[in-house]
Every structure is written in C-alpha cells, then in structure tokens.
Structure 1
Amino acid sequence: MKQTTNSILMIRPVAFRMNEQTAVNNYYQKVLDGLSPETVNAKAQQEFDAFVNKLRKVGVNVIVVEDTLEPNTPDSIFPNNWISFHENGDVVYYPMFAENRREERRDDILDVLEDEGFQINEGIMDYTAAEEDNVFLEGTGSLLLDRENGKAYCALSPRADEELMIEFCEDFEFTPVIFEAFQTVNGERKLIYHTNVMMCLGDTFAVICADCIDDKKERKMVLDSLRGDDKEIILITEEQVNNFAGNMLEVKGKNEKRFLVMSESAYKSLTKKQIAQLEAHVEIIHSSLDTIEACGGGSARCMMAEIFLPKA
C-alpha cells in the first residue's frame, strides 16, 4: 500500500469560527478579540485559497468542495476527522466528539469524488453509531496510518477510544500502536486531543514529539516501532508542537515528487538542522494559516483528507 497520495479533498469554509464545543479539550484554540465572525471567516477563506493554490502549483490534485451555511459547521475546514478514503475503495465515517461536528458528514461529497473518476465500494464502513455511547475515534486526526507497514499509531484521548481503535485495526488489518501523549496546560499535564498534532509519518521519516509521551516504556515502544520500519526520526519539542510543527502531511505532486506540507508558523518554529533533515527526504511547502490555527486549533494536516481510492 502507498503511504502518500497525489489527491486531496479540502472543504472551503463559509462560516468558520472558534467552535466552543471543541474548545473543552482542544487547548490550541484561542479567542481572537475584536474580530467579527465575518472577518474571521474572510481571513480563513483567504488563507485556505492561498494554501490550495500552493498545492496545485506543484501538481497536487486538490478537490475543493464548498461548505454550506446550513447546518452550522464551524470546523468543516477539517474533513480528515470524519472521513477517510482507502486504496481498496472503502470509505470510512468516524464518530465525532462535538455534536456540531457530526453535521459535517455529507454523502454528496462521495458523488463529487465519483464524478472525478474515483471508485467507491458499495456500503460505507460506518463507526458513527458509537456516538450514542459517547465513544469517539476522529479519523486520521486520531489515527496515524502507516499504510505501507500496516501499523496505526494512536494517542488515546477523549476523542480516541482504545476499543474502537482496535476494532478499526481488526477491520482494516492494521497493527495498533497505542500510547498516551500529553501537553502542559497551565502547569498541568493534559492529554493531547489528536495524534496528528504531535506526530507525522512520511514515507521514509517520522516527525514526533517524544517528550509528549510521558511514560518511558510507551515512548520507547513508539520510537522502536518507527526505527524498526527504517524511518528516520526527527524529534520536535513541545513548544514546536504548540506551533503545529507536528501537524504536517506528505503528499505527491507532479512526476511523483514528494512534498511535506505545513503551516508558516510550523515552518518558522523549526531549527535549521530539522529543516535540513526533512529536506533530505522531501521538498517543504508552507503557507500562512494563522487565523485557522488560532480559531480552529488545527493546522495544515487537518485540512487535507487524503484520497487513496482507485481510479475507475
């Protein structure tokens, strides 16, 4: 199985704002004082459009779907949490922690992808019934899939349930690599809400904040797993995680060229040595996502749902 794809789904926001329902355990969200909701959304749209243009310029196939005003979905810009697309034609729907994020699920997006020539299997793999039991697993925010090596990395949190994660791994034949990751919030260690905030998996490398894994045995287990698959480990600090340096995604552009996509704040937080380590594997693309990061508490990786579906 391929680890990286050339095709990405992105949702252009129409009513982006800080989501009060996700702020309870997403400690990266901030209130931007003095900005009207209209201004926040306009700034987010500008950042989104510039980001899409940079991806398309290097040959990434970006399929943009416009969000709708109804229902009210302030976080629709982060589709990777509710849906994933797989090489065998499967589509997966995931159970979401915030009630207003459940409204983001849209079957019409599958029609858009079929119109683009992608093949989708009959019947969606749907885990959303777990929401009735307050059990959640937020897509490739919670699950970092090493498709090539058949592993799924998951930092447990209120948005990533262990039993459901194991069920997913059984259904898709992944080996689970399960741990807990923490960040310091007002002097307290609190669980990081999504795995993809502190970790990124590329074809030949992994970016990870090992310091977020407080349990030494778990930390060793995760690093040993990555090394065992011959990935170069590039360590980042917790401060860099706060600048979304873990929230990156490797994609393919023209002629299968590999790119690592991140925000400008993530890029600026990296050291020269880290940039050199990454550039030994990929070319870096970075774009300003300041408004999206502040209000949404997510960054570049969260905005891209990878499409691995076969072409008809």
Structure 2
Amino acid sequence: MRYAVQAPSAVVMIRPHAFESNPETQADNAFQKSSEATDRTIVAKQAFEEVTQAAQSLVQAGVRVHLFEDDGQQKTPDSVFPNNWFSTHAGGHLAVYPMYSPNRRRERRQDVIDALKADYRVQDVIDYSGLEPDGLFLEGTGAMVLDHISRVAYVCQSQRAHPIVLERFATHFNFEPMAFDAVDLHGRAIYHTNVLMCIGTDFALVGLDLIPDVKRRAQVQDRLAETGREVIALTAAQIAEFCGNAIELQTPTGRVVALSTRAMAALQPWQIEAIERSARLLPLHIPTIELAGGSVRCMLAGVHLSARWPTNPLTKNAVSLGE
C-alpha cells in the first residue's frame, strides 16, 4: 500500500550518555550552537532525558522504537543522529555510509545491524564506508531525502554528499538522483538536505527559496508536485527553526509527522492545516539536542524492513518499545 512505502512504522534511536555539540562538525554546520556556557554534565543529562521523553512520546503515538544506549566510551558526540550512518529499504536492504568527520565514523555499530537482522528480514548489507580514505562521503538520509514512492533521491550538494557515492547508491537502490545547490541567508551551503526538506506521503515541506538557481528550484518543485503531493514552501527563517527536519511515520491509527516543538512553533497556521489533512503533527521537545545542529528527523532512523516477529523481538542491546 502507498502509506507503507514512505512512512515507516518503526525507528532506531540512540540515547546518549555523554552528549555534547561536536567540535569536528561545527565548521560546515551553520545550525550548530556551542554549549560551552553550560556544564557538560548538565547538557548530557538534559539530552539523555530529551531522548527518553521523545521515545516515550513516539511509543504513545503508536510507533515502534528500538532504543540503543551510547555510554560515551567511544567519544561519539553526534551518536544521537543515527540516520547519517545507515538506512534501511524495502526488500530487505540496508546501507552503511561513509562519514565526513572522523569521530562520526565511530558511530557505526555492528550490534545495531545485528539487532535489525534479528528482528527484521535483512537480505543484504551494502557498505560504502570503505570510501572514506578516498575522501568520498554520503551521510545517509541526512545527505539524501528519499521519495520512496517515486524513487527520487533529493540531495543538497556539499562535502557530505559526494556525487560518486550518490551515483553508486542510486544504482544499487534504484533511485533517481536529483542534486542541487542550497544556501542559507548568509550564503553558506546547507550541510544536509534533511534540514531543508521533508517528504511525506501526500505533502512535501521544502525551503525552495534556499535554492538559488531559479531554474533548478522550479525543477525540484515540479518534481515533487508531479507525484501528487502538496508542496508546502518553507521560508529561510523556518528552515533555521528546523521546520524541514521532520519525518512522517505510520501508526495503527494513521500517520504522524514528528518534529520539534521549536519547529512546530515556527509553522504558520495554514501550513499546519495543510500537513494535518493527511497526518497528525507530533511535536517533541528537544532543545538541547538541537544545539548539535540537527533535530527530530536526524534522531530517527526509519525502519523500512519487514518484521520477523511483530512482538517479542530478539534484540539484546536495545530496549524495543511499542510492541
């Protein structure tokens, strides 16, 4: 069915025990803010609690959550954003990605992959991480926003999305790549596409004004519109408030769109009405997490796989919620 293709009903989350804003990613992530003014222990505790509350809210909404712990021993400040290092795809496929920042490469976890294999039908794992020594990167569904229905991969061109890796992904997973330049109000390149765009089943949120090439902007808009979706334009100011960093999820009672309370507050009433014609908005309060330059979409790695067991999963290293 159409609804099952775009909106996953389960997600992977990582709960950090030593969260902090990553100094290695600050140079090209204009959304990132330093947390130096606040005690690190307090920041880490706040982030831990925010992830805990977000997971509980998702479960209450009917989403299945696989919650893994990051004890901080590997020094992975951005581990709360697992959607960058792996993605899953219908038909039993899983991709592992090459990461730009060296300390983010430590986020890749075999136990997460093994848990997914235990709970879901995984046919193969395609690992692109061996391209890192060649300086070739593609940071998962941060770098790409995927239209799973029309098989289009939308990509902001940046050092975190190399065209060679994108082409390989598109070939392996049968997506049409659609790359474009995007910049913020200060002319800085947008580091990840998923802060600019969210594709749901019946709508698309996109910061069209941040695509400077007028012709390419129109092509992106038309490509989204020809799928039958309502294209909801976001302003640059709304993008800065993470309005584009949302994800549509499937629940037993219908679809929801998970986003942050900060993003929700920045949406216009007409935009909320347009989204809620097909999906209920589910705001999550994560102000500490957002200091790291990502929001709700970055925190949730969607599971587009067929479950082996709808209940009683075999996952050993995660708390599986929402059975």
TM-score by length of 2: 0.92
Q: CA deviation at 1:46?
A: 1.2
Counterpart among 11, 21, 28 of residue 24 in structure 2 = 21
**Residue 313 (structure 2) aligns with:** none
Aligned position for 1:220: 218
| Counterparts of 1:82 and 1:74, CA distance in 2 | 14
Letter in 2 for 1:153: Y
Q: What residue number does 1:236 align with?
A: 234
Q: Which residue does 2:144 correspond to in 1?
A: 143
1:270 partnered with 2:273: no
Structure 1 residue 33: deviation in Å?
4.2
Partner SS for 1:20 = coil
Match status 1:285 vs 2:286: no
Q: Is 2:82 the counterpart of 1:79?
A: yes
The residue number in structure 2 matching 1:303 is: 299
1:198 paired residue number: 196
Could you say which residue in structure 2 is the equivalent of 1:121? Answer: 123
Alpha-carbon displacement from aligned partner over 1:14-47 (angstroms, at most 9, x marks no partner): 1110100010100111113431111111011111
1:36 aligns with 2:39: yes
Are the counterparts in 1 of residues 136 and 164 from structure 2 also a CA contact under 8 Å? no
Distance across 1 between alignment mates of 2:236 and 2:38: 29
Structure 1 Cα separation of the partners of residues 238 and 190 of structure 2 = 14
Secondary structure at the aligned position of 2:19 is classed as coil
CA distance in 1, matches of 2:36, 2:27: 19
Q: Secondary structure at the match of 1:284?
A: strand
Which residue matches 1:106? 109
- In structure 1, the partner of 2:257 is 260
In structure 1, the residue matched to 2:166 is 165
The residue type paired with residue 107 of structure 2 is E
CA distance in structure 2 between the partners assigned to 1:236 and 1:27 by the alignment: 18
Residue type of the alignment partner of 2:215: K
1:92-146 deviation digits (Å, cap 9, x = unpaired) = 110101100000000111222234x212224x20111221111110000011111
CA contact (8 A) 2:257 2:281 kept: yes
Q: CA-atom RMSD, angstroms?
A: 1.1
Q: State how far apart, in whole Å, the 2-side matches of 1:266 and 1:26 are.
A: 18
Runs of 4 or more consecutive aligned structure 1 residues displaced over 4 Å after TM superposition: none
Deviation at 1:217, TM superposition (A): 1.1
SS at match of 1:163: helix
Q: CA deviation at 1:87?
A: 1.2
Q: C-alpha distance in 2, partners of 1:71/1:89? A: 29
Q: Given that residues 20 and 35 in structure 2 are in contact (C-alpha distance below 8 angstroms), is that contact kept between their aligned partners in structure 1?
A: no
User: Could you tell me which amino acid in structure 2 is paired with residue 137 of structure 1?
Assistant: L
Q: TM-score, normalization: structure 1?
A: 0.95
Q: Does 1:70 align with 2:83?
A: no
Gap regions ≥5 residues in structure 2: 309-323
Q: Which amino acid aligns with 2:191?
A: Y
Does the 8 Å CA contact 2:151/2:176 hold for their aligned counterparts? yes
Local SS of the residue matching 2:158: coil
> Comparing 84-93 with 191-200, which one deviates more in the overlay?
84-93
What is the distance in 1 between the residues matched to 2:272 and 2:136?
38
